[in-house]
């Protein structure tokens, strides 16, 4: 069924995530035909068909101006181009509970997991409410189990109440 819903996903990625999808979706109330379909569509989109669990912030100067024009001028875009860590620290500075650009929080708490959980606030709330030890070890959300579990947590916390 997952292959039919995400036909672009590789069999290897489906096999990697499916056991955790089967465990965690019901535990987080993702258990009706509609919620399962919506959740799978969302994680398929956010993770590029289960192929990415870390946000790609490798932008060219023109990509930065197109995507993040609020944070870059042509001059700064040239300076930051193709430097993902610098880009993350700039665009996520002083937002979502992150510190300033120099703090490194933008890179540390960039999008991770199958739903691309982003920002220190979200990492903190998830750790506090769900016990996922991600605040001091953000890369845990890159593992198959926690990539799925964090997506389910996010869905239950922020999406399910709106549908």
User: Do residues 116 and 151 both lie within one domain?
Assistant: yes
**How many domains does the chain fold into?**
2
The whole model's pTM is what?
0.94
Instruction: Write the pLDDT tens digit of every residue in 6-26.
Output: 999 999 999 999 999 999 999
pLDDT tens sequence across 58-109: 999 999 999 999 999 999 999 999 999 999 999 999 999 999 999 999 999 9
Do 49 and 120 lie in one domain? The reply is yes
Note whether 117 and 78 are same-domain residues.
no
Residues 49 and 69 in one domain: no
Q: 95, 119, 152 — which closes off a domain?
A: 95
**71 burial type by CB count under 10 A (0-12 exposed, 13-18 middle, 19+ buried):** middle
**Are residues 149 and 69 located together in one domain of the fold?**
no
Q: Counting beta carbons within 10 angstroms of the beta carbon of residue 4, is it exposed (0 to 12), middle (13 to 18) or buried (19 or more)? A: exposed
Which token pair is 90? 């700039």
Would you say residue 103 lies in a domain? no
Structural domain harbouring 85: 61-95
d(CA 75, CA 1): 48
Average confidence score pLDDT of the chain = 97
Answer yes or no: is 105 within a domain: no
Q: Does 80 lie in the same domain as 117?
A: no
- Residue 53: the pLDDT is 98
Indicate the pLDDT class of residue 160, thresholds 50, 70 and 90: confident
Same domain, 118 and 42: yes
Q: Is residue 123 situated within a structural domain? A: yes
Q: What is the mean pLDDT of residues 121-131?
A: 96
Residue 39 lies in a domain: yes
**pLDDT confidence band for 37 (50 / 70 / 90):** very high
Same domain for 116 and 148?
A: yes
Same domain, 42 and 72: no
| 102 in any annotated domain | no
What is the 3-state composition of the chain as percent helix, strand, coil, each rounded to the nearest 5?
Answer: 60, 0, 35
**Phi-psi group of 20: left, alpha or beta (phi > 0 → left; psi -120 to 50 → alpha; rest → beta):** alpha
What's the whole-number mean pLDDT along residues 31-57?
97
């Amino acid at each position: 069924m997952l292959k039919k819903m995400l036909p672009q996903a590789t069999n290897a990625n489906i096999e990697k995530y499916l056991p955790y999808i089967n465990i965690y979706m019901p535990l987080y109330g993702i258990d009706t035909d509609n919620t399962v379909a919506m959740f799978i569509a969302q994680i398929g989109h956010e993770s590029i068909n289960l192929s990415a669990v870390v946000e790609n912030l490798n932008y060219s100067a023109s990509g930065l101006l197109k995507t993040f024009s609020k944070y870059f001028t042509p001059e700064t875009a040239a300076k930051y181009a193709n430097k993902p860590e610098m880009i993350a620290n700039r665009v996520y500075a002083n937002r979502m509970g992150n510190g300033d650009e120099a703090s490194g929080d933008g890179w540390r708490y960039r999008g991770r997991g199958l739903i691309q959980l982003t920002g220190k606030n979200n990492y903190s709330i998830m750790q506090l409410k769900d016990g996922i030890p991600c605040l001091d070890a953000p890369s845990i959300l890159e593992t198959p189990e926690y990539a799925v579990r964090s997506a389910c947590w996010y869905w239950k916390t922020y999406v399910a109440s709106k549908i």
